[in-house]
Amino acid sequence: MRELKPMEVDLGRIVLIGTVLYAVAAAVLLPLQSSLTHDGHGRWPWVAVSGVVLGLLGLVYVKRRDRAIARDAADAPSAD
């Protein structure tokens, strides 16, 4: 049986796309806050803002993780 290796994905790009989508949602929802609050949906803009903040934190985490992985790969002895 073959050993399966983890699929490599560009996590930075994935987190960036999600953060941009949340930023677009925030840009659309924040000007509408008063009407959203009147209709009982006053939390929606803040959910979008929270998504942006968490996405930015995620970008910092992914960049640090990628640097650590690259550093460990450079320090590891080669199997050749």
Nearest CA among 57, 58, 56, 69 for reference residue 8: 69
- Mean per-residue pLDDT of the chain: 93
Q: Tell me which residue of 5, 59, 7, 52 sits closest to 29, measured CA to CA.
A: 52
So where are the chain's domains?
11-75
Average pLDDT over residues 20-38: 96
Predicted local distance difference test score (pLDDT) of residue 1: 82
Which tokens hold the place of 28?
A: 């659309």
Higher local confidence (pLDDT), 77 or 39? 39
- 59-67 mean pLDDT: 96
Find the mean pLDDT for residues 12-16. Answer: 96
CA pair distance 12, 66, nearest whole angstrom? 9
Tell me the residue length of the chain: 80
pLDDT of amino acid 80: 53
